[in-house]
Amino acid sequence: MCGSSGIGAETARVLALRGAHVIIGARNLEAANAVKQNILNSIPSARIDIIQIELSSLKSVRAFAEKFLAMNLPLNILINNAGHFLLTNLLLDKLKTTAEKTGIEGRIVNLSSVAHVGPYSEGIKFDKLNDKKAYNDMMAYGQSKLANILHSNELARRLKEEGVNVTANSVHPAVLRAFTFFLWKDIPQGAATTCYVALNPSLKGVSGKYFADSNLEKPSAKARDEALAKKLWDFSEELVKNSKEATGIRGPSGFGSASTAEQVTEGIDASGLTVIITGGSSGIGAETARVMALRGAHVIIGASNTEAANSVKQSILQSTPSARIDIIQLELSSQKSVRDFADKFLSMNAPLNVLINNAGVMYCPFKLSEDGIEMQFATNHVGHFLLTNLLLPKIKSTADKTGIEGRVVNLSSAAHLTTYRGGIRFNKISDKAAYNDKLAYGQSKLANILHANELARRLKEEGANVTANSVHPGLIKTNLGRHSTIFVAVLRATTCVLWKSIPQGAATTCYVALHPSMKGISGKYFADCNIEQTTANGRNESLARKLWEYCSETLFKRTQGQVNL
């Protein structure tokens, strides 16, 4: 709870008085420590810890959660004395597990206000949340207090649906003195409703309700709007997701956005593996090749620029003299080059354990490949689709012979969020008139996800010991955006805290390709070394199947017929 002053401090005092171990999250540590000392003066046995938190900073919220979770304490009650969607989500698993282990109901209490009745006319201004022109301080406050109630209600609905022993409610602690001085409460009275909802046994099983004066009250119609509550939840999740990379917090895998490729592969012996990496002559492809070689893998780099690839090879050999690296020319926009690459690799009679489809182009001016396909789609998806299918028998046979799971990793991007309407423009993929370089890139990245998903489905159906997943490496400063320098410059300026180093950018690829915890996981999308949810298009099974059939039956007819599993 936040409790360095006012009713937060009084709530902390009363909870400590009743024997609870209280964790105070506070921006002002000096004030919070003064509260702690004051409580200890009257209650010497009080157990109080203080962790700094600035609720306006998502990075600070995540840091608070990490520090608390590192204490390995249970968590029975979370009192959101100042609004905290992200904090609740970060601590929810701990609340659930504590309730399950102890049999004691977990409780979440959001402090709202009667001011929730006076927000903007639409309730929540989703499209103008940060619009200075339309800002009204009183309405903005009312909007935030409405959001507290809607958050509690939607959380309560989800918890009930999940069947967990945790409740969520919202409270109005006191009436503002400025409006109705005769209704003004003192601080102990103001803390009463919060403490009642947090501790009283009569509240067992009560969830999704709004309280004032320690009794149930009916909030405004907007506060009871289930559709608005769900919309706010989805909107808030997207805001939180977009900020995640800036924080470096570790997810369930034990790794996060700040993790490097070396860190996520530490202790892994890949000496018996052969790994193909496309586009390994620069950027995260080169770093992926370096780390794979460092872990002992035989690395095959497929590169259009063999001179640059040889420079990468020499650099790796200087730091890892025992590295085994071969280079084969590969131009992914050319189906002939892709087939030549596959032929040359297969003639080496080497095994193949991991295929990393890394290469790509971004935001290109409109251009057709030599096969008559729009360049971004040809390079980022079609080339990898063909290459994967040509090498799949080798990956399967290697897995059969060695008993080691084969893995296919497609590098996608969060850019799959922004594509043409419908996801894939099957009838206009190479149509110059309707071309948009940003949407075309997003389309190709969506295709990478759909390809991995459909491949995973087919491999599972076949019973093959091979997995297929897609990854978002993060925002990384490489030469990939060379065709749209102004846009990339603006993007960097406005999202500077989200950008990763190249070692961090290669981490998710290396994690999915090598980590033993990935065994058996297939058809998933990863970011920051953890499973993430894609867009609805990215989860569309029929769209994935249609894309597979489109590429297999249409794009390759003119060469060697259909390419099938």
Residues identified as active-site: 435
- The answer to whether 537 and 446 have CB atoms below 8 angstroms apart is yes
Mapping DSSP to helix (H, G, I), strand (E, B) and coil, where does residue 322 land? coil
CA dist 117 and 257 (Å) reads: 40
Helix (H) or strand (E) holding 545: helix 541-550
| b/e code 530-544 from CB counts within 10 Å (16+ = b) | bebebbebbebeebb
HSE of 264, CA atoms in CB hemisphere, 13 A: 32
CA dist 442 and 454 (Å) reads: 18
Angle value at C-alpha 161, between 157 and 163, nearest 5 degrees: 115
DSSP 8-state symbol, 43:
-
CA dist 272 and 152 (Å) reads: 52
| Amino acid code (one letter) for 107 | R
Sort residue 417 into left (φ over 0), alpha (ψ -120 to 50) or beta.
Answer: alpha
Pairing of strands 406-411, 475-476: unpaired
Strand partners, 105: none
Residue with tokens 């967990």: 164
- The answer to whether 473 and 360 have CB atoms below 8 angstroms apart is no
Q: What are phi and psi of 77, to 5 degrees?
A: -135, 135
- The answer to whether 166 and 78 have CB atoms below 8 angstroms apart is no
Q: Residue 157: which residues within 8 A CB-CB, separation 6 or more? A: 208, 226, 229
- The answer to whether 506 and 291 have CB atoms below 8 angstroms apart is yes
Q: Across the chain, how many H-helices and E-strands are there? A: 19, 17
Both tokens of 301, joined, read 């780099």
CA dist 459 and 196 (Å) reads: 55
Torsion angle, CA of 379/382/383/389, rounded to 10 degrees?
Answer: 160
Torsion angle, CA of 452/454/457/463, rounded to 10 degrees?
Answer: -70
